[in-house]
Structure 1
Amino acid sequence: DRYGIAPPETMDDFIKALRTIKEKSKGSIVPFWFAGYDKSSFAQYYDQFATPLLITDPAHNEKKQLTNGTFKWNKFTYLSKILKQMQKEKLINIDAVTAKKSQLIELMAQNKIAFTMQGGTLGQDVAQINPNVEVGIIPTPAIHPGDDPIWIGGERYTLAAWKDSPQLKEAKDFIAFMARPANA
């Protein structure tokens, strides 16, 4: 709200928001913060943005190619190029590869971070230190024009079946049952 930024709906909007935060805060707020000491921080970036890059837009749906082994991996380099661009423009923290998750709550409570990719009870933890800081969650911005932002969940409730299970059909039936909206 302070900088007049609506939740970004596209990657272009997201980059624009990061630039606005950097400019208007005169560098006092890190636009996009990574706790790279824990490798999962960067993995989360790639994981979360891979879906709008490779799956959700019908014109760029690579599901079949990813499944059958014909995927052209040069399409995935887009995310690295964007990350490198953000680093070059100082839109991410300069200590992104050494920053620790333990720093996140305190920095957010001090209003020093605008965006991060982090799961858990971030808002509650920040509010315990500074109840005046509002923490929200936004969908992952779309990458391709015409696509919509998406919500992506983690593996907390994932079910799987072993490909060589003697009860593979029954396992798949159970997974299909659990995936129904009434049961999920």
Structure 2
Amino acid sequence: LGIEIPKTWDEFMAACQLAKDKGYTGVFIAGKDSRQPANLMDIAATTFLASCEDKGYTDQLADGSFDWNNWTPVSQLLMDLKAKGYLNVDCVTCDPVDAAPRMAENNILFLMSSSPDLIGQAQEINPDAQYGMAPIPALNDSYEPAFCGGEREAYGIWKDTENEALCLALLDYLAKPENVKIVCEASGKRPAIQNVSPDLGSVAEDYATYADTAIYPFFDRVYLPNGMWSTMKTIGSALIGEEMTVEESVQTMQADYETLREQN
């Protein structure tokens, strides 16, 4: 499209409009899986609420003083993407297995995902298309784009296992550099173990480009009470299905936050 990678959400929405004008899909969501719209909000919350640290939102979520009106832009983003026609027309019913094939059609501008392995899958289908990874747009020009991240590929042993020796042997096998390399290349993720150099294809350059970009943990895991991922799946699906207003989604988030915070 001849534009730079968006650095703010305003630039992101402008890019989606340009994509729509050119006949492309701005953002792809496989909404048959309720985790997909929830994941988009979880990712967006990184820069709407977490990385703008001077606003103190995450501290307020921790101590219970958060004003839930500040969640409104997160739900509004999802609603606007749908209302403005920036999402794929089958965003409510599309299956996640279609993500990589859709990317390979070279018709999608953005896919908000924590799964870089989709790029590898798409490249297998269409090696000629160009794919890349970029950080989440910043709230505005006063802030910087950021990533959200988690445990990547993690393996452990059940505390009550009756096969500890066998499990330890498996972990020892998985931790061998040659096997870490295989897992990283399959998942498209960087190694957590030193002296491993996987071939990450087109995203390798992006990892290097954004090496100094801040990474925040997945929003719901740290800043929301346990159980609210289910709430986000509910409101995300309802928003793109036009079964809930933004105001109702905010009220639902607040109610579940208060209930689950007390329980936890």
TM bin, normalised by shorter chain, reads: 0.7 to 0.9
Q: Which amino acid aligns with 2:65?
A: T
- Aligned residue in 2 for 1:68: 63
1:81 aligns with 2:76: yes
Question: Contact 1:53–1:144 at 8 Å: present in 2 too?
Answer: no
**Unaligned stretches of 5+ in structure 1?**
159-181
Name which of 146, 149, 153 aligns with 1:153.
Answer: 149
**Unaligned stretches of 5+ in structure 2?**
155-191, 195-264
Name which of 4, 7, 19 aligns with 2:5.
Answer: 7
Q: Which amino acid aligns with 1:106?
A: P
Separation in 2 of the partners of 1:55 and 1:107? Answer: 31
CA drift at 1:120:
3.7
1:55 aligns with 2:50: yes
Q: Which amino acid aligns with 1:140?
A: I
- Aligned residue in 1 for 2:92: 97
Question: Contact 1:31–1:91 at 8 Å: present in 2 too?
Answer: yes
Q: Which protein has the bigger helix share?
A: 2
**Percentage identity across aligned positions?**
32
In the TM superposition, what are the counterparts of 1:163-174 in structure 2 within 5 Å? none
Separation in 2 of the partners of 1:151 and 1:80? Answer: 19
CA drift at 1:141:
0.4
CA drift at 1:145:
3.4
Work out the number of aligned pairs and report it. Answer: 156
- Aligned residue in 2 for 1:129: 125
Deviation string, structure 1 residues 98-143 (Cα, Å, up to 9, x no partner): 1111111111111121101221411211111111111111100001
CA drift at 1:58:
3.3
Question: Contact 1:57–1:144 at 8 Å: present in 2 too?
Answer: no
Separation in 2 of the partners of 1:37 and 1:183? Answer: 36
Separation in 2 of the partners of 1:58 and 1:19? Answer: 29
Separation in 1 of the partners of 2:62 and 2:79? Answer: 28
Q: Which amino acid aligns with 2:4?
A: A
Secondary structure of the equivalent of 2:87? coil
Distance 1:150 1:88, change over 3 A: same
Separation in 1 of the partners of 2:25 and 2:125? Answer: 19
Distance 1:157 1:121, change over 3 A: closer
CA drift at 1:155:
3.6
Deviation string, structure 1 residues 40-86 (Cα, Å, up to 9, x no partner): 11111111111211121133231210001111111101111122122
